Structure formats: structure tokens, C-alpha cells
Amino acid sequence: MYKGSRINKFFKLFKIANNSLESKFVEYMLSNSFPDFRKEEDEEEESLTTDSMKLLFQKILDEVDVSSLNHIGAIIFWILNERITPEEQSDYAAKLFAKLVDADYYGDKFLLALRHLSSGRHGGNSQAVLDSIISHGVFRDTLDRKTKGGLSHDNYRIYSSRELWPYLISKYIMSIGTAMDSVIASDSVGWEESGSLIRSIEELDRLGVNLKDSVFNGIKNKFSAIVDKFEDRSYMYQRAEMTESMLDAFDSLLDEDISLRLNKIYAKSERMSPSGTRGMEQYVQEVKKAIGRNDLSELYSPPLDIGTNLPENLQRNIVHSVLSNISEVDDIDFLKGKIIEPFFKEKLNQKHPDLLNHITELMIAKMPSYFLGINYWYSAPEELSNLFDPATSNVFDKSKIDEYKNKALKSLFIVSTNDFIVLMNKAEGNEEGVELNFAGKAGSMASWETLRSIFNEVISEKESLDKITPSNLISLFKNLQDKKLDESDFRKGVDDFSGMTANLFNIILEKLDPSACEEFSDAFYNVEPEELKTELIKRFGEKIENNINEFYKCYMKINYKINRYLDRRVPERLQRKSLQAVIDAKDSVTYFDHFYTNYDMHPSYRYALIPEPFRYSLKRLEKINDIVEAKEIHSKSINDIDVESFSDSKIKYSGYQDQQRASELMENNVSRYDLTQDNTDPTPIMYDINKELVSAADFMMHTNLGSSGFTSAWALISFPEDKLLIEQIQSDYPVVLDRTFNRMPPSKKSYRSISYKSNTGSRFELKYRDDGGAYIKLQAMAKDEQGEDLGLGFDVTQLQEGVSELEADEVELEIMSPEVFSDYTDKAKKFEEISSNYRSTEEEQQNAYKEASNIYRSRAKEIRSRLDNLGLIPSSLYGLQEKYPETEVMDAKKHIDVISQNYPYLIIINAMKTALKMEQEFIYLLKSGGSSIQNKKKRKKIYSDLPNSLGATNDKILEMNVFKIPATSENIAKVKAMMPIKKAHGYSYSLLPSQNKAIMQRRHKEERREKKTEQNKRDIKLSRDQIMPVKVLFDKAEIPIPDEINEVDTVGDLLKFLNIHKNLLRSNGITKKDINKAHGEIARLRLAEIIESFGLRKFGMEKAIPLYGLLINCNLNKEAEELFNMIENISNNENLLLRGDSL
């Protein structure tokens, strides 16, 4: 029986009434909670040992229906308080809760157990146990199984339990994060990746806001990368659906930039529709944007599709607005594809017949040659021919159709004058006139009389002529002078033919701009009489002179055509004014292309001073071949934009304004510049290479790109929207390294021959046959001073058996047969098919490209090996070896190798430094600029890895996709660290390795010399206390201390002083022991001085000081002296002084 407390009696009744396994756990809880709860002495009960309780717990799990348990709290109490390991606690709790979830899913036991565990009232480390079981193990697995598919009627209790929120947050952070990572990493996003992401987000979206906020905080760092992926791919499976799910779930949580970009992606998808609050708001915004772009095709295509989504009256207003605003658009392809074709495709002419006149007038004004059928219109609407055919039209009668046709012909004269003239010439002499495919319908005729009447009308009306562009007016002027028109037919309304010419000339001259100036200079050739021609050219010259700042470039190009018609002094005056205009504009290109050449060619000009803006112009380097003069110019050169230059990086107006360039930049007349990485102090061999050998780059002559003779790499940059944009990054050094120094022939068939030389100097050309194969052909036999042949330099029989002697023009020897050559090609093509197949993944394409490149490379190596066996090397290498020592050639090769691998990074650094100089926060890298890099691995490093490492974001300039990269000193340091070949701190990539080595040696020598010459300044200065040991000796000897003590500044001086006066002290009664003791104190101070001065602490040399003291104390004076002398010698070792920090 139990003792007499109330709790004991209550438990006795409970046990009798509930003879169950639970009672033991209740007993355990009560006995551990209340001190007065204990057994009667005479009652025999099973003791509540740990092992027995474990067995009872397992029995409950195996035999008891857990839904019938009434005292789960007692079981949890035992788990939390029993003397078991934390791992066992978690394991027991996980098993209990897993059983509860499965057996009591619709009851209260599971939620009750969660509250017991999470409340903390049962003691123990309850929170740690809860965190453990929901993060891993059998209970976590059970929860994952039950919650698969998201919130439902079967699992709502799990989702409604606040105690399980940490589990749910962890679950969705993991599931959504993993799905996002899969999309980001996948080369080809499919249904598995997209479906997983959409399902995970949709499951979360059905939960409460608090859970959503917490999950978002765990995955928000992934949104930038996934949006980048969405934007970069032209096609991606279910991109719209993924975008929509992210916006639906997280729109209010996303930062402004990510939200804007996702909305743009969604707006371009077919899923967008005017449904729901967000959908309608965005739909309206996108419709407004399309109206602003005057794009009917976009408005009537998914996702906008206003034909389906908006009522007819609203559609009519939108179309009218577009047609009213289109008058400023001159892009014919845009008008056809975005306005006219969709207008008829959507049958807007039937839905809104009042708008038909607008569209007709638009075609007449903007594209009469297509409306009249002169130019072929592939996708012309069929409805046009029915509308403007009198036999079929139910809208226009014949008179209206003829009116439209005549208006179109008059517009043709104004818009496309040449087409009208050609049409009129065809009609001349033909009674019926010329046939037109008017509105796409053959059979419509334009008579000679009609065309002549239109011509007379336009040519006589200044108002009509004013509508014609200068270029078309010039074309008309030339046609008149060429007398392709019968002048007698065009005298109506003018005095004579000359009067018509003069009238047209005046209008052209009034409208003339620099873009048409050169074209106009060609229009005077057939002007007659000669007096009229002279008069017109004089007036043309006056136009140029009065507007010389606009027309000086034109005059420099055409002066040879017009100078002889001008008064005698006018050309000289125009030349002088043009020069002044060039100087005012700081136009170095025009100056060096025109004026500098004259100074150089004519003796009277040769020594004329170069105007100040061009004296140190980068353009001048193109005209210089003397290295000394070139270095002076380069060191003092100025940029072609208003920003201070760096010694190793310049900015020059590029000679490549149009080549390999985005149309957006050319259409906006954005100037292009070269931003360079330069060799600041090129040796003769490097100057020679930069001037001559850069043409090895696939035969592209880049000598004058950048700083001629100095540039090792460059970027083609521009400043659209006042932003520093890197269009391309280039260098010829990789090809120079490969072709010249590594002697590699082209890996693929070249259509240009490559020059080689033998050891005798005989010149050969390596050529590739059209059907495959490679061979060499002798071009020039080397000769000695007497003119005797020096020979081929190899035995011909090595290549062609049975051949002993050949004439020079017969030396054509096979290097690789067509069969062997083609065998390599066939092997490579198998991989090229994979690399170019759009169905291949990016990884497959990259691997295939690598394999194909390796095959071609192997073929080139085999050709090189065969040429090496003959002693043939590239002529460029032969020239260097002949002109420069081997050490200089190898030095140049090392430098070119370093730059070949590092140049993109150096250019990015120079661009950032320039941006910082211009007080700009970012540089911009054109994404399409990497398309010319065939090496996909290299392209990925520069156009993916590097921007990501620098915190780049996606942006647009003139609608071009660019990386926006922060220009900071931290990013400059990051780029330096990313370089494939990293050199020691202080290494200059604008100098050769030998130059860097010499500079470092000089620097170290200067540093050590400075240490040596200023050593006394750095020595430990003596204080009164430090001199005291010597003073004590003299006081003890009762003799005055010599005056030389005043000249003692350092410890070394003090030691010398003591040694000099040692005998004086001995003769006055001072013992040797006293002198040695003082010497030891001073010597220890000297040792400390040397160790500090030479940085010897890092070698543990400070331990020599107590060692020295120990030797003195042990009377081991000889050994102490040896130790002192050893360290003292360090300060006198010149080699150690020169090595400095490397000691």
C-alpha cells in the first residue's frame, strides 16, 4: 500500500480503475514530481527502472491503440526526464509522434501531444527534442508523406498547428529552393524542373502570410539568378507559368527591380490576360505601351489580343490613335509588318470602314513603291487588290481609285525619285504607258501623259520639292544633267533648261547637309554649258566656306573635283579654314589623314610645327616608325575623349566604326573608341611585333588599332546614354603566340598562304588544297653575297622519293595528303553536328565543340611536326630570330603568353579605372559581344563567371542586353585575383618580364642601400642609462671619461669606445671581469639592434640575446665572442643587404 498523502490515495484509485501500461508512466511522473509520493513498505511492486520503462514504452508502440491513450503527457514526461541520451529522447519522441499521426489523424491526441512537448512544462530539453524530430528521422518522414501535395482536407491539422510551423517553413524553403536551383543549373529546362517549381510555390501560396514571409526570407537570394536565366534564354518550357506562380506568391515581397523584370517577362507571355486585379492592371499598362510603340501586330496578338479582350468601340479608338501617331515612322518593314498587314488580317477595314482612308493615305505617303507594285511585297494583304480593283471593289469607285493612284505616283516622285524617273522612261514612246501592279493587282496602267503631268507639277512647285530629301533631289539633278529626260518636254513654266537646273540647284543647296555633300559633288559632271557648271560649283564652294565647321570633312574629300572651278585664291583659303576647323574640333583623324600627310610628303612643309591638339595625339603614332619618337608621343599622349589617360591605357577614336557592330549603335550614330592595354616602354622587339606581326591574326591588319606600336589588347567601347559600354574585347597576341612563337599553322583550311623560311633563308608558302591536303611551294631561293643559291635547306627526298633535283618553280612538296587531311575533317564533323544541333544540351554542345577543336588542333600539330622536320619555321619568327638575340625573343614570348591569357581581365580593369575617373558608378558589358569568342569555356568565364563574381545585374542600353557591373576598387581587386596568370604584387603587365625583373632588382637594391646609408639613423640611439656601464667603469677607476664619448651615437660606437680604452681602464685598477661584464651588457644591446634592423625576429634570432648572456655568465667568453661576431657580420654582408625582405 501507499503512504497516506492525498496524491498517493488518488493514484491508488487510478491504478485500480486503470490497470494499464500508462499507469507506470503516471507513477513515474508523480514520483519524480512530488517528494511525498512513495510506496508502502509492505507492497511489492515492480521498480520503475530505466530498462523496464523502455520495455513498457516499446510495448505501448507495438500493442496499444495510441488513439486510446489518456495520459500522453505522462509518456512525454518520461521521455524528457528519463536518464537516457539525447539521441534516444529524440528517437522515442519521433516514434511516438509518427504513431500518433498515423493512428489518431482525426482525433485530438496528436495535437495534444504536440502541445505537451512544445509547452516546456514537462521539464527536460523539450524544444531541442521538438526541433530534432521535425528536422529529420521517422517523424519528419511521416510528415513529408502526409503533406505531399500540399494542404488538403486530410492533413489540415498539420498545417494548422503553430508548433509545426518551423517544419513547414523548412520544408518549403528546401523544396522551392531546390526547384529553383534545378531551373538555374539546367541547360535545358523541361517539365520536371518547371513542374517541381510551380507545384512547390502553389502549395506554399495556399498557406498563411506569416509562413510565406518566412519562406521567402530563406530563398530570396535565388531570385536574381533565376530571373537572369529567364531573360537569357530565348525559349524555356513553362517560363510564363513559373513566372506567374512566383508573382502570385511573392509579388508584394520582391524588391522593385526583380518584380519589374518578372512582370516584363510575364507581359510578353501568352498567359497574361485582363483577369483578376493584378492581371487587369498589368494588361492595361501593356496595352498602353503597345499603343505608344504604334504596334497593331502586338495589340492583336497574344497576350494582349485586344480583338478578343476588348469591346469593338474601344478597339476602334486604339486603332485610330495608332494610325494618327504613325506619321513620324519611316521604317517600311515596320509599317508593313506591324501596321498594314495586321490591319487587313484582323479585317479592321470591314469592322471600322471609316479608318480605311487613314490606312490608304499612310501607304501612299510612306510606301508608294509597294502600293503601286513597283517593289515586290511578299505578304501584301489579298484584300488590297479587291478594294482597289474597280471590278470588285464595293468601297471605292473608279474615280476614287484613280485619284489614289495619282496621289501614289506623286508620292513616289517625292519619296523615291529614281523609281519615278525609271517608270517615266519606260512609259516614254509607249502609247498605253507602263503597267503597274497597283494594290497587288496587275493590269493597272500609268500613261506617259499622266507621269509627265505629275513631273511638271512637282518640279515647278517649291513646296513639293521641299518635301524631297537632298539625296533624291541630287538624283533628280543628275538625271536632268545626264539628259535622260527630253528637255523640250519640261520647259513649261521655266525660262529654259538652265533655269530649271538653277532652280533645282538652289533648293538642293538650301537643304544640303554634310551627309549628302560628297554625293552632290558628283552631280556636276554633265552640267552644260561650262559657264553654268563653273557658276554652280562656285556657289557650292561658298556654301562650304560659309559653313566650314560642318563641311570641312567633305571638302577634304572632294577638293580635287571642284578646286579648278573656284577662283584662284579660294582653294588655299578653304584649305586654311578647313585646317582651323580641324584644330577647333580636335579632329585627329582628319588631321593625320589629310594635313599631316602633306607635311610629311612636301619638303616645304616637312618641318612645320604640328598644331597643339595633335602633337601628342594617339593618331600620330600611326605615322611614326621611330621607337624613340613614338615613346615620347605615347608618354605625353591625350585621349580622344575628355578624360585623363593612364600610362598603360588610352582611349582613341576607332577606325572600326561599323565593322561587327550592333545596328542599334549605328542607327543612333554612337561613336566607337578603342580602350587599350598598352606596353608603356616597349623594347625594340616588342615595338616591332606590335607594328608588324599583329597581322598574323587571321590576316587582319590591326597595326593602327589603339596606340600603334604599343597596344597589346583593346576593347571597342562607346558611350550610349552617357554610359561606358564595352562592345567587344580583343587582342592579336593569342594568334601571334600561336602562329609565330608556337609555329602552329591554322587548325582549319586557310584560303591564304602562310610564309615559312628554311635555315638557309629560302622562303616557302604553306598552302591548303581545295579538296584537302597541305603542301609547301618555294617562293624565293636564298642567295649569298655573290648571288649563288644557298639551297632549300632540306633534302627534297625526305618528302618525295626518287626526286634529286628540282627547278625553283617546281618545288611544290606535299606536307599532308588529302586523304589524311580529310580523315581529320570527317572525325571532327561528327562532333560539329552535335555542337550545332539545337536539340543538344549546352553541356553536350560544349563538349562536342571541344572534341572537334582538339581534332583540328591535332591535325595542325601534325603539320607543324612535318614542317619542323624540314627545318621550316614561320617567316615572322625567322625575322625575329635573325634580328634579335634569343633571350629577347624568349622574353617577348613570355610577355605575349601572359597577356594572351590575361587580356580580358586587364581590359575590364582599365574600363573600371576609366569609369571611376569619369565619376561613373558602373561599366556595361554588351552580352552579344561574346558571340565572336569561339572558345565556349573562355566565353563563359568572361561573359558569365566574371559578371556574376562582380555583382553584375542585367540591364538594357538602347534595347540591347548588357551586364551592369559596379566599377569599384573592390571589384578591380577581384578581377586581378581572377586572372589566369597572376604575378607578384607590383608586377606591371605593361612591361616585359625582364623589365619587371630589372625594376624589382633596382627597387630592392635602392631599399637595401637606403637601409645601409641610413642605418645609423635606424640604430637604437643611446640614452644616458645605456652609456652608464662604461661611465661606471671610469668612475670606479677615478679617471675622467675621455671627450670622445660625446661622439658616440650608437651601440656599435660605444663598443668601439670601450675596446679602445680597455687598457686605460686596466692600468687604473679595473679588472678584466668588470670590463667583460660591461662589454656583455653593451653587446646584448648591439645584438638587439641588429636583429631589429634586419628583421631577424621572424627567424627566431632574438633567442641569441639570452644565449649570449648565458655564455658570458658561464665565462665562455670565446664562444660568446663568436656568437656576437656571427650576428655582427650580418650588418656588413652586402648580399644580405641586397636581398632585403627575402633574407
Output the pLDDT for position 275: 60
Cell of 263: 512582370
Cell of 541: 564652294
Q: Is the pLDDT of residue 20 over 80?
A: no
pLDDT digits (tens, 9 = 90+) for 833-881: 888 777 777 778 878 888 988 999 999 999 999 999 999 999 989 999 9
pLDDT digits (tens, 9 = 90+) for 956-1011: 999 899 999 999 999 999 999 999 998 887 899 999 999 999 988 888 888 777 76
Q: Closest Cα to residue 384, out of 407, 356, 365?
A: 356
Least confident of 106-110, 716-720, 730-734, 801-805: 801-805
The one-letter amino acid at 383: E
Strand-pair category, 922-926 with 725-730: parallel
CA angle 903, 908, 910 (to 5 degrees): 95
pLDDT digits (tens, 9 = 90+) for 32-74: 776 666 554 444 455 678 888 888 888 887 777 776 777 778 8
pLDDT digits (tens, 9 = 90+) for 996-1051: 999 888 888 887 777 655 554 444 455 566 677 888 888 888 888 888 887 777 77
The one-letter amino acid at 922: F
Strand-pair category, 873-874 with 754-757: antiparallel
Rounded distance between C-alpha atoms, residue 111 and residue 339, angstroms? 65
Output the pLDDT for position 1: 37
Output the pLDDT for position 279: 65
Q: For the chain, what percent of residues have pLDDT higher than 70?
A: 85
3-state secondary structure of 617: strand
Output the pLDDT for position 198: 85
More confident residue, 246 or 482: 246
Q: Closest Cα to residue 513, out of 565, 477, 473, 478?
A: 473
For residue 121, what is the enclosing H or E element?
none
CA angle 267, 271, 273 (to 5 degrees): 75
Q: Closest Cα to residue 1076, out of 1090, 1065, 1087?
A: 1065
Q: Is the pLDDT of residue 566 over 80?
A: yes
Q: What is the DSSP letter of 800?
A: S
Q: Is the pLDDT of residue 214 over 70?
A: yes
pLDDT band for position 485 (50/70/90)?
A: very low
Rounded distance between C-alpha atoms, residue 95 and residue 299, angstroms? 61
Output the pLDDT for position 270: 64
Output the pLDDT for position 696: 44
Residue 483 φ/ψ region, left for φ over 0, alpha for ψ in the -120 to 50 degree band, beta for the rest: left
- Please give the mean pLDDT across all residues of the chain: 81
Q: Is the pLDDT of residue 492 over 60?
A: no
Least confident of 468-472, 507-511, 602-606, 823-827: 602-606
pLDDT band for position 376 (50/70/90)?
A: confident
Rounded distance between C-alpha atoms, residue 578 and residue 554, angstroms? 10
Output the pLDDT for position 487: 45
Instruction: Please provide the DSSP assignment of 101-113 as one string.
Output: HHHSTTSSHHHHH
Output the pLDDT for position 358: 87
Q: Is the pLDDT of residue 674 over 60?
A: yes
Q: 3-state SS string over 929-984? A: HHHHCCCHHHHHHHHHHHHHHCCCEEEEECCEEEEEEECCHHHHHHHHHHCCCCCC
Q: Is the pLDDT of residue 792 over 90?
A: no
Output the pLDDT for position 992: 93
Answer whether 58's CB lies under 8 Å from 75's CB: no
Q: What is the DSSP letter of 646?
A: B
pLDDT digits (tens, 9 = 90+) for 400-427: 888 888 888 998 888 888 888 888 888 8
pLDDT band for position 749 (50/70/90)?
A: low
pLDDT band for position 1141 (50/70/90)?
A: very low
Q: Is the pLDDT of residue 543 over 90?
A: yes
- The Cα-based distances of 250 to 179, 247, 292 in angstroms read 16, 5, 30
Q: Is the pLDDT of residue 740 over 50?
A: yes
Output the pLDDT for position 789: 84
The CA R_g of the chain, rounded to the nearest whole Å, is 46
Answer whether 280's CB lies under 8 Å from 272's CB: no
pLDDT digits (tens, 9 = 90+) for 145-166: 877 777 776 677 777 777 777 8
Q: 3-state SS string over 341-397? A: HHHHHCCHHHHCHHHHHHHHHHHHHHCHHHHCCCCCCCCCCHHHHHHCCCCCCCCCC
